[in-house]
């Protein structure tokens, strides 16, 4: 297999393994479905462009999540000024068909996604990485913090998420 084909195969493997996770990273940074899809494609493009420079200094998974979150932050920094402050929009419900129309499980999942998106940046990153199954050590590798710090942040993030879900659950 030549270099290009090997790269294609590796990229395909990453998409197969992490494609859904990358879509969820995009969802953690963008509430608007069209812009979210755009961000997801930007993340995929960034992974594709960065892949030839991956030298195995970290695990491939950590590498992919670092790129995805960095792209998410860049997306946030470039949001349009006239977008009626997307900080608030981030907490708005997704304008897809209302959860009432969906099954109860889907409602719960949607509530979880919204609650994660509504968290401030720091707990949002930690909790979304945890929900993807990354250990505190791997989270520390992605974010550039110590493992202890990652564990402390995770504990705070869980409390914030629990609170947010409880508040939403209590809302009429």
Partner 1 sequence: MTRTPRETGEPDDELLEWRAGWQADPEPAPEVRDLIRRRVKRRSLKMALSTAGELVTGIAMLVFVAWSALRDPTAINVGAMACLALLILWAMSFSLWYLRGTWRPRAETTSAFVALSVLRCQRRLQALRAGWWLLALELAVMIPWICLRLKAQAAAWSLLAFLTALVSVCLIAAQRRTRRELREWEEMRASLG
31, 39, 44, 160: which one binds partner 1 (CB under 8 A): 44
Q: Name which position in 59, 93, 135, 168 contacts partner 1 (CB under 8 A).
A: 135
**What is the rounded distance in angstroms from the CA atom of residue 3 to the CA atom of residue 12?**
14
Q: Does 145 bind partner 1 (CB under 8 A)?
A: yes
Q: Is the CA virtual torsion 95, 97, 98, 99 positive or negative?
A: negative
> Which one of residues 7, 32, 48, 102 is an interface residue with partner 1 (CB under 8 A)?
48
d(C-alpha 53, C-alpha 14), whole Å:
15
CA 49 to chain centroid: 19
Q: Are 29 and 70 in contact (CB under 8 A)?
A: no
Among 7, 10, 24, 99, binds partner 1 (CB under 8 A): 24
Number of residues that bind partner 1 (CB under 8 A): 61
Show contacts of 106-115: CB within 8 Å, 24+ apart: 111/165, 111/168, 111/169, 112/165, 113/24, 113/27, 114/168, 115/161, 115/164, 115/165, 115/168
Does residue 11 bind partner 1 (CB under 8 A)?
yes
Q: Is 167 near partner 1 (CB under 8 A)?
A: no
Q: Does 71 bind partner 1 (CB under 8 A)?
A: yes
Enumerate binding residues for partner 1 (CB under 8 A): 8, 11-12, 15-17, 19-21, 23-24, 41, 44-50, 53-54, 63, 66-67, 69-71, 73-74, 76-79, 81, 105, 108-109, 112-113, 116, 120-122, 125, 128, 130-133, 135-136, 141-145, 151, 155, 158, 161-162
């Amino acid at each position: 297999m030549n270099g290009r084909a090997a790269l294609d195969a590796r990229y395909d493997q990453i998409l197969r393994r992490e494609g859904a996770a990358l879509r969820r990273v995009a969802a953690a940074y963008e509430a608007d479905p069209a812009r979210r899809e755009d961000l997801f494609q930007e993340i995929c493009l960034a992974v594709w462009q960065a892949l030839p420079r991956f030298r195995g200094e970290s695990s491939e998974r950590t590498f992919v999540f670092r790129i995805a979150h960095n792209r998410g932050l860049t997306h946030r920094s470039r949001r349009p000024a006239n977008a009626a402050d997307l900080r608030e929009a981030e907490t708005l419900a997704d304008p897809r068909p209302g959860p009432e129309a969906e099954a109860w499980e889907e409602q719960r999942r949607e509530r979880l996604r919204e609650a994660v998106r509504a968290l401030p940046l720091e707990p949002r990153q930690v909790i979304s990485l945890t929900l993807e199954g990354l250990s505190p050590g791997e989270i520390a590798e992605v974010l550039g913090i110590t493992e202890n710090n990652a564990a402390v942040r995770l504990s705070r993030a869980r409390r914030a998420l629990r609170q947010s879900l409880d508040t939403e659950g209590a809302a009429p």
